[in-house]
Amino acid sequence: MSKLTREEKIEIFERRKMGETISSLTKAFNIRESNIKYLIALIKKHGYNILREDKNRVYSKDFKLQAINRILINHESINSVAIDIGLTSSGILDNWLSKFKENGYNVVEKKKGRKPKSMTKLKKNDKEIKRNFEATAPNQKWFTDVTEFNLRGEKLYLSPILDAYGRYIVSYDISRSANLEQINHMLNLAFKENESYENLIFHSDQGWQYQHSSYQKRLKEKKITQSMSRKGNSLDNGLMECFFGLLKSEMFYEQEEKYKTLEELKEAIEDYIYYYNNKRIKEKLKGLTPASYRSQSLLVS
């Protein structure tokens, strides 16, 4: 769509308004039907001024994150969000999402080649979250993933468990290696804090750690139902993606220079998670912190 001139875009809109079919416009201007529909919706919402040349427009980090959150958390489509915020192409937002993932929000690479014997085969009937991120009580839905912090070539890996109820961080581990030991330590801390796991669904991507027989055995022993994202669908684990984005935007990105060592960075991550759980008030939680919201529910039950 970017190859069209401003005048051509206006002509498309006017011809469509006069009743010309989408199919006819597709042939006349040699562009895809989806692009024509997007263009028409964009002009309807914002008028012709939206077609101004803005190739050099710079979008703030917060602006991008808010748009991404609408997709990950509110389940809005890329097209609807892109049109609403006035992007001349949905590809711009699609690119933001790609970079969101590339920049360390889902960095555990899937192993290629033959699957080790310790890896169990995924069952087709595994229960899935299916992007339903809401919960009515603690310990109904947990989410986990691993993200990477790259500090001048040295790396730390954060592996947390997030409860969908109140978005509370149940437990976490920070390590220099993204390995099974890290996952086990995270589970140990979570199981130490909680006793009841009846009807708990534990969601992750298809990372090798979560397909490992020892990991799946531990969940089975606690009668926890395992759920995994569909292959190549990072949005299926949207709550974790969103938390990683929030954390990094508030304490890491454009602040790397203030951390002299990995130990300083580790302490900063720990401090942030404490702040996030215990001091960061959320309007959606009736003005409570995730920890207070969780405690209130546990007291009632």
Return the pLDDT at 165: 94
Reported pTM: 0.62
Per-position b or e across 242-260, b if 16+ CB within 10 A of its CB: bbbbbbbeebbeeeeeebe
| HSE of 183, CA atoms in CB hemisphere, 13 A | 22
Distance CA(243)–CA(162), nearest Å, equals 9
Evaluate whether 269 touches 149 at the Cβ level (below 8 Å).
yes
CATH of domain 57-109: 1.10.10
Higher pLDDT, 275 or 284: 275
Higher pLDDT, 96 or 188: 188
Return the pLDDT at 196: 74
What's the mean pLDDT when you consider all of the chain? 84
Q: Any idea where the domains of the chain sit in the sequence? A: 1-52, 57-109, 141-299
Q: Residue 154 above 60 pLDDT?
A: yes
CATH of domain 141-299: 3.30.420.10
Encoding tokens for residue 90?
Answer: 């949905």
| Sign of the alpha-carbon dihedral angle for 24, 29, 32, 38 | negative
* Coil/strand/helix, residue 151: strand
